[in-house]
Amino acid sequence: MGWFFEEVTLQQKIAELTQDWDSTGPDSVEYKDICLAHAYVAETENFGVLWCVRERRSNESTERRIVCNIIESCNGLLGHKELLETDGPSYFSVPLSFLSMVPLEVHGGDEEWWREAVFAYSNEGQQQ
């Protein structure tokens, strides 16, 4: 997925990206997608990361995932791009509590290189 830029405030973009929604999958199953938790981490004045724990529910299953929305301000417009944990290590500022909300043994993910990097990033910050 590419970048999408529009004329909105950061607060409006966060509200949009954290709202719940309903959808129908290609298998005609109806889903409810819910934001269980979110946190915005400003990296610079014009760039930050919105972390979300999202849960997708149907009558048949429940899935959870950690979503990383990178948000950038450019020329008066605000842009965002969504990345999933499975997309690879990009940013490591996710709140550690989000990792326990999406346990690997239940929901999958990649502990070896992504989650280990998150713990290392967190430990670096605590030592400074």
DSSP conformational letter for 12: H
Could you tell me which of 21, 42, 41 has the C-alpha nearest to residue 32? 21
Distance, in Å, from the CA atom of 127 to the CA atom of 49, rounded to the nearest integer, reads 22
Residue 121 confidence (pLDDT): 74
Angle at 46 between CA 45 and CA 48, to 5 degrees: 90
Distance, in Å, from the CA atom of 26 to the CA atom of 50, rounded to the nearest integer, reads 28
Could you tell me which of 109, 119, 103 has the C-alpha nearest to residue 85? 109
Distance, in Å, from the CA atom of 124 to the CA atom of 118, rounded to the nearest integer, reads 10
**Please, what sign has the CA dihedral across residues 113, 125, 3, 33?**
positive
DSSP conformational letter for 46: T
Residue 85 confidence (pLDDT): 63
Residue 117 confidence (pLDDT): 75
* Structural tokens at position 93: 């500022």
pLDDT per residue as tens, the chain (128 positions): 578 899 999 999 999 999 999 999 888 999 999 999 999 999 889 999 999 999 999 998 898 988 889 999 999 899 999 887 666 657 788 898 988 898 777 766 655 557 777 777 777 765 54
Residue 128 confidence (pLDDT): 47
Q: What is the pTM of this model?
A: 0.82
